Structure 1
Amino acid sequence: MPSFLIPPIAILLSGLAAVAVLFAARMAGITPLAAAPASLAALLVFLVGLGFAGFLWWLASRCFTLLRDPATTPEQLSALRDLPLALPEGTVRALLALIVGVIGLPLLLFSQSLALNDAIAGYVNGIIAGVFGYYFGARSTGPEAQAARRLGEALEGQTRANQALRESEAAAREAAAQAAQPALASDAIARLEAQLNIARVLVQRLGPALPAGLIPPQAGGLIAQAEQALAAARTLPDLGALQAATAALTGRDGPLPALLRAAAPLLPAAVGGPLAGVALLLGLGWNLGAAAWRRFRARLLDAPHDPALFDPGAITPASAELRLAEAPIFARIFTPRLAEPGFLATLLDTCLRPDAPALLWARFPGFTSPAEAEAGLAEFRQALLEDRVQADLPPELIGRIAAGLGQPVTTPILPQDGPEEAKAALQALTLLLAELREARTDPVPLLREVAP
C-alpha cells in the first residue's frame, strides 16, 4: 500500500471504530446514550471535526515536505506562497463544503430523532443550500475565471519581465557609455592636438610671410581656445569642450580651411566642393616617395630648376618633343628643326645643364635676347617637370587617397596659373605638407575633418 494512503485510512478507521462503539452501546440498551441523542450528535460532530482537522494536517505536512524538497524550484515556491495554507487551489473550499455536507446532511435527515425544532432544521437547510450553491456555482464558472486570472498573471509577469529587461538594457547602455567615455575623450584630445599643431604652423610660422587676409584674424583666438581646452582636459576631460575647439579650428574661420579656400582657384572645381581638389593634391603629395616628393614640391613651389629632379634617361627625345608643344617660345624657334638628326637629343642635353641659358643663346639662333632664351627655357623645363609629376601619380594612388577623403575618384590636374594670393596659399600648404611629412603625420584624416 502506498505510504501516502496510510494516514487517511487510519483516520477513517478511527472514526468508524468510534461510531461502532456508540452503535454497540445503543444496541446494548445503555440508557445515557439512548436518552441523549443531542449529546450523541454533538460527539459525532466533534469526532468528524477532529477527522477533518487531521486530514488538513496531513495535507499540510505533504506540502511542507514538498517545500523542503531540494528539487522544488523557486518558481514553484513562489506559486505555493500565494495559496491558502500552501495547499492546492480549491482545497480549503472543498474541505469546508465537505464538513458542511458530512455534518449538516445527517443533522437534517435525522432532525426528528435528534428532537430538533423546525427553526433549527431550517437554519441547517439554509446553510447547506448556501454552501453547496456557492461551491458548485463557483466550480461551474471556475475554468473561465481561472483562465482569465492566469492570463492576467501571465501578462503582468511578462510586463514585469519586459520592464526588467528595459532597465537592464538601459543600465548596460549607460555602463557602455561610461566605459567608452575615456576612449572618446582620448580620441578627441588626439584630434584636437593634431589640428592645433597644424594651426600653429600656419599662423605662427608661415602666417607672417603670407599676404594679409589669407589667414583670418580670429585664428589666434581659436588657437588660444584650443590650448585652454587641452589644458583643462589634462585634469578633467570635457568631451564637449574638446569637440567645440576642434570644430572651431576646422570650421570656416580656421587657418587650414581658409588657406584651402584661397588656393582653390588654382585647380578646377572638384565634385567634392571647392576644397576637394586642394585636399586631394595634398593627400597625394604625402604619399609620394622621396624623389617623387621633391619633384612634386618643386612643381607646387615654382622652385628653380634642379638637375637632380630628373633621373638619368627618364626624359627621352620622344617625350621632349611632346613637351615642346607646351613651351610657346621653344615651339616657335625649334619646331622647324625637329627633322634634323639628333637635334632633340642635343637640345635636351643643353636644357638640363646648369648653364643652359647661356648655352642656348650661344648655340641656337632665333632668340631675340638672352632674356627670351631664359624665359623659353623656363617654359620647357616646367613642361618637363609637369610630365614627370603626372607620371608619379598612378591611378591606383589617386583612387586610394580620394576614397580616404570620401571623394569620387577624379584625375587630378596640377595647379595652373592664377592670382598671386592663391599661389601664396598653395605654397604655404606645400610647406605645411613638408612639415607633416617630417613628423610622419598623415594629413588625409585631418583634411577629412575640415568643413567645406
Structure 2
Amino acid sequence: MPSFLIPPLKILLTGLAAVAVLLTARLAGLSLGPIHAAPASLAAVLVFLVGMGFAAFLWWLASRCFTLLRDPATTPEQMAALRDLPLALPEGTVRALLALIVGVIGLPLLLFSQSLALNDAIAGYVNGIIAGVFGYYFGARSTSPEAQTTRRLSDALEGQTRANEALRRSEAAAREAAAQAAQPPLAADAMARLERHLGVARLLVQRIGPALPAGLIPPQAEALLAQAEQALAAARTLPDLGAIQAATAGLTGPDGPLPALLRAAAPLLPAAMGGPLVGIALLLGLGWNLGSAAWRRFRARLLEAPHDPALFEPGAITPASAELRLAASPIFARLFTLRLAEPGFLAALLDACLRPDAAELLWARYPGFANPAEAAEGLSEFRSALLDERVAADLAPELVARVAQSLGQGGANARLPQPGTGQAQAALHALTLLLGEMRDSRTDPAPILRELAA
C-alpha cells in the first residue's frame, strides 16, 4: 500500500471505530437517553468530531505538501502538477483553509440549527457568512484570471521566444554556411595564404620596423600592408581571387617586409647548402622547434646578447670542451695554448671566465694582454665559442633533417651565422625578434617560408 494513503485510512478507520462503538452500545441495549434528551449536545459533539476529522486531514495534507517541497528529488513538473490541485495548493492555501473551516463549522450549524435552538437571526448570519465565503472563493477562482493560466501563458511566450531565437540562429548559420560553400576552394586557400603573410607583415612593419635602421624594410611595405588589409576585409564578404592574389604577391615580392629582411641577412650565411636564403629559412624553422632552454641559447647567439650564466646548465661546460673551443678564440689561443699542459690551468681559466667580473680577473691574473680592452675582447670571443658549442649541440641532426624536409629542402645543413655588422646583423636581429613573436603566438613559420621559397 502506498505510504501516502495510510494517514487518510487512519482517520477513516478512527471514525468508523467511533460509529461502531455507538452501534455496539445500541445493539447491547445500553441507554443513550442523556444524549437523546439533549440533541444540542449531540449536534455539538458531531460538529466537534467532524471538525477534528477535517483538522487531522488538513494537517496531513499540509505535512505531505511540505515534505514534497523539501524533497530534493521533486521536479518542476511535479510542482506544476501540485499547483493544479482543486484546492490550488500551494497557491491560495490560506484562502482554501478558511473556506473549509467555514464550511465544516457553518454547514453543521445550519443543519442542526433547530436542535441547537438557534433563532432565525443567528441562522441568517451563519448562512450569510457561508454564502459570502463560498461566493468569494469559488467566484474569484472562476471569474478572475488564474495564476495558473497566467503562468502557462508566460511559459508559452517564453518558449516561443526561445524557438524564434533558435530559428534566427539556425538561419544565420545556414546563410554563413551557404556563403562559405559558395566560395571556391581556390579562393579559400588564397585567403588563408594572405592571412598568414599579413600577420607577419603587421609584426614587421608596425612593431619591429620602427626600431630598425632606415631602409632595411622597403618604404613600399606600409602601402602593401594597407592594400592587403583592404583586400582581406573585402574578401570576407565578396571574395575576389584576383585582388587576394595581388595583395599576397605584394607581401611576398621584393618589396615585402619579410623577403627584404631575408635578403639582408643572407650574407651572414654565404656557405649554406641551398644558398643563403635557404640557410636563413632553415635557422628560423629550427628556432621555432627548439625547447625553451635551447631557444634562449639560440636567441642569445643570434642577438649577440651579453653573457648569461643561466644559459649553461651545471656541468655542461667541462675543461675538455673548453680546450676544444679555445682554438676558436684567437686572443686566448695566442696567450694560453702553451700553458694548457700546466696542471689545473684550464679549470682555473674556465672558472674565471664564467664569473661576473671575469674581465678584471683575466687582466689581473693572466699576463700577456696588451690592455684591459684586449682582455675583455678575448673573453667575449671565448664565451661566444662556448655558446656556439651548446647551440650546435641543441641542433640535433634529426631535428635539422625534419625541419629541412618540412621546408622542402631535404639535405640542407644548418650553419650558425657569421659575425656581421650593419644591415645584415640588424636584419638577423629583426628576424630573431619576429621568430620570438611567432613562438609566443604558436604560429609555425614553415608554411610561410616554404611559400616564399616556392
Which TM-score applies when normalising by structure 1?
Answer: 0.59
Match runs of 1:293-332 below 5 Å = 293-332=295-334
Structure 1 residue 411: Cα displacement? 2.1
Q: CA deviation at 1:180?
A: 8.1
Counterpart position of 1:279: 281
- Matching residue of 2:260: 258
Q: Which amino acid is the alignment partner of residue 198 of structure 1?
A: V
Partner of residue 234 from structure 1, selected from 228, 233, 236: 236
Q: In the alignment, what sits opposite 1:171?
A: none
1:39-438 equivalence runs, <5 A: 181-438=183-440
Whether the 8 Å CA contact 1:251–1:451 is kept in 2: the answer is no
User: Does the 8 Å contact 2:272/2:414 carry over to 1?
Assistant: no
- List per-residue Cα deviations over 1:361-386 (Å, max 9, x = no partner): 12222222211111110000000001
Residue 260 of structure 1, CA deviation: 0.2
Where 1:450 maps in the other structure, the secondary structure is helix
Offset of residue 428 of structure 1: 0.4
- Report the CA distance between 1:355 and its aligned residue: 1.2
**2:299·2:432 contact (CA, 8 Å) conserved in 1?**
yes
Deviation at 1:197, TM superposition (A): 1.4
- Distance 1:254-1:384 versus aligned 2 partners, 3 A rule: same
What is the rounded CA distance, in whole Å, between the counterparts of 2:323 and 2:428 in structure 1? 30
Q: Which amino acid letter does the alignment assign opposite residue 192 of structure 1?
A: L
Aligned-partner residue type, residue 398 of structure 1? V
* 2: CA distance, partners of 1:379 / 1:193: 42
Q: 4+ residue stretches of structure 1 with deviation over 3 A? A: 178-187, 269-274
**Residue 179 of structure 1: CA displacement?**
5.3
- State the distance in 1 between where 2:248 and 2:424 align: 25
Query: d(CA) in 1 for partners of 2:237 and 2:271?
Result: 45
Cα deviation, residue 417, structure 1: 2.5
Whole-Å separation in 2 of the counterparts to 1:368 and 1:271: 40
Opposite residue 240 of structure 1, the aligned amino acid is G
**Alignment size in residue pairs:** 275
Instruction: Verify the 8 A CA contact 2:272 2:413 in the aligned structure 1.
Output: no
Confirm or deny: 8 A CA contact 1:257 1:451 kept in the other structure.
no
Task: Say if 1:227 and 1:220 are closer, same or farther in 2 by CA, change over 3 A.
Answer: same
Counterpart Cα distance in 2 of 1:409 and 1:180: 42
Q: Distance in 1 between matches of 2:194 and 2:206?
A: 17
* Aligned 8 A contact 1:195 1:249 in 2: yes
| Distance apart, 1:271 and its partner CA | 4.4
Query: Is the CA contact (8 Å cut-off) linking 2:353 and 2:379 kept in structure 1?
Result: yes
For structure 1, the 5+ residue unaligned runs are 1-177
Distance 1:391 1:271, change over 3 A: closer
Return the letter of the residue paired with 1:297. Answer: R
Partner residue in 2 for 1:449: 451
Q: In the alignment, is the contact (CA less than 8 A) between 1:286 and 1:443 conserved in 2?
A: yes
Which whole-Å CA distance do the structure 2 matches of 1:182 and 1:440 have between them? 28
The 3-state SS of whatever aligns with 2:420 is coil
How far has the Cα of 1:333 moved from its partner? 1.4
Distance in 1 (CA, whole Å) between partners of 2:311 and 2:259 is 31
Name the SS for the 1:449 alignment partner.
helix
Retained in 1: the 8 A contact 2:293–2:311?
Answer: yes
State the Cα distance separating 1:345 from its structure 2 match: 1.1
- Structure 2 letter corresponding to 1:286: W
**How many Å separate the matches in 1 of 2:277 and 2:337?**
40
- Are the structure 2 counterparts of residues 180 and 348 from structure 1 closer, same or farther at C-alpha, using a change threshold of 3 Å? farther
What amino acid is aligned across from residue 413 of structure 2 in structure 1? T
> Once the 2 structures are TM-superposed, how far is the Cα of residue 274 of structure 1 from its aligned partner?
3.7
Give the direction of change, closer, same or farther, for the CA distance of 1:281–1:419 in structure 2 (3 Å limit): same
RMSD over aligned Cα, in angstroms?
1.7
In 1, the alpha carbon distance for the partners of 2:234 and 2:318 equals: 60
TM-score by length of 2: 0.58
Aligned amino acid, residue 392 of structure 2: Q
Amino acid at match of 2:350: L
Q: Judging changes above 3 Å, is the alpha-carbon distance between structure 1 residues 270 and 324 closer, same or farther for their aligned structure 2 residues?
A: closer
How much has 1:341 moved relative to structure 2? 1.1
Amino acid at match of 1:313: G
CA contact (8 A) 2:319 2:346 kept: yes
Cα deviation for residue 321 of structure 1 reads: 0.2
- Amino acid across the alignment from 2:346: L
**Contact 2:273–2:413, Cα closer than 8 Å, also in 1:** no
Q: Which amino acid aligns with 2:341?
A: A
Q: CA deviation at 1:340?
A: 1.2
Asked if the contact 1:317/1:345 (under 8 Å) is kept, the reply is yes
Instruction: Tell me the residue number matched to 1:154.
Output: none
Q: For 1:262-290, what per-residue CA distance to the aligned partner results, in whole angstroms no more than 9, with x for missing partners?
A: 10000024443441111011101110001
For 1:277 and 1:236, how far apart are their aligned partners in 2? Answer: 39
Q: Deviations over 1:412-440 (max 9, x none)?
A: 11111334110000110000000000000
SS of alignment partner, residue 201 of structure 1: helix
Any conservation in 2 of the 1:268–1:413 contact (CA below 8 Å)? no
Deviation at residue 182 of structure 1 after TM alignment: 4.9
- How many angstroms does 1:395 deviate by? 0.8
Change over 3 Å in CA distance of 1:273–1:327 after alignment to 2: closer
Contact 1:271 1:408 in 2 (8 A): no
CA distance in 2 between partners of 1:248 and 1:430 (Å): 23
**2: distance between equivalents of 1:269 and 1:324?**
23
What amino acid is aligned across from residue 296 of structure 2 in structure 1? R
Q: CA deviation at 1:253?
A: 1.4
Distance in structure 1 (CA, Å) of the matches to 2:234 and 2:289? 35
